[in-house]
A and B are shown apart, each in its own frame.
Chain A
Amino acid sequence: GNSVTQMEGPVTLSEEAFLTINCTYTATGYPSLFWYVQYPGEGLQLLLKATKADDKGSNKGFEATYRKETTSFHLEKGSVQVSDSAVYFCALSSDTGRRALTFGSGTRLQVQP
């Protein structure tokens, strides 16, 4: 079956530091890949996505590239802000069937001023 493995947290960074959150996946076929963000007390918001190999998703300074050869979709940001403190989830959906999301375990990011 499908699975997603992501970097355990919490990750604590100083403001303006570089961020990488690793994510690897196992899936058959050609899944779509997503990063969702969850702020305290809220639901999940889509941060970015990629639907085929070598696609790069980007939003709000965050980027991730769909690497089929390494089955990875690492999240990066060049300069984090305090407002980026949240929990980040890597997820995939299959290319067939119900296309429900399979999530990683989430990584809590804390950015200190």
Chain B
Amino acid sequence: EADIYQTPRYLVIGTGKKITLECSQTMGHDKMYWYQQDPGMELHLIHYSYGVNSTEKGDLSSESTVSRIRTEHFPLTLESARPSHTSQYLCASSDGTSYGDTQYFGPGTRLTVL
């Protein structure tokens, strides 16, 4: 059973608000990921972290930012939310030490910006 948590599960906010989506894992994994899932179900990588103090942008351009100060914590921040940010955000982690290692996903945060 994977132990990766995301809060909040659902968030409805107004335009212009700053928000932080939390993601934590208790597996000691070095690699963590944020994916954005659009209403049509497609998933795209928006952020990636190799480990503490190491983050990169993903394949899909995003106005969000991330930080990785502790191994277990990988929060995503939007400084000024807009309706175009409405989506589901999924966090994942893997130990990254073996070929074909499994990524474990959290339950997701469904964000709606009015």
Contact = CB atoms under 8 A, between A and B. Distances in A.
Contact of A100 (B40, B58, B106, B107): B58
A105 B42 contact: yes
A100 B36 CA distance: 13
Contacts of B108: 42-43
Contact of A98 (B41, B56, B105, B107): B56
Contacts of B6: 43
Given A98-B50, A98-B56, A51 B100 contact: yes
Per DSSP, chain A at the interface is strand
Contacts of B52: none
Q: How large is the interface on A (under 10, 10 to 19, 20 to 34, 35 or more residues)?
A: 20 to 34
A22 interface: no
Interface in A12-65: 32, 34, 36, 41-46, 49-51
B32 to A, nearest CB: 11
B28 to A, nearest CB: 17
Nearest to A106: B41
Interface string B10-38: 00000000000000000000010101000
Contacts of A49: 100, 102
A68 interface: no
5 contacts: A32-B99, A43-B107, A46-B103, A49-B100, A103-B43
Among all A-B residue pairs, the 9 with the closest Cβ atoms: A32-B100, A51-B100, A106-B41, A43-B105, A44-B105, A103-B43, A43-B107, A100-B45, A43-B108
Interface of A: 32, 34, 36, 41-46, 49-51, 87, 89, 93, 95, 98-101, 103, 105-106, 108
Given A41-B107, A46-B104, A100-B33, 17 more contacts: A32-B100, A34-B102, A36-B105, A43-B106, A46-B102, A49-B100, A89-B43, A99-B96, A100-B59, A101-B35, A101-B43, A103-B42, A105-B41, A105-B42, A106-B41, A106-B42, A108-B41
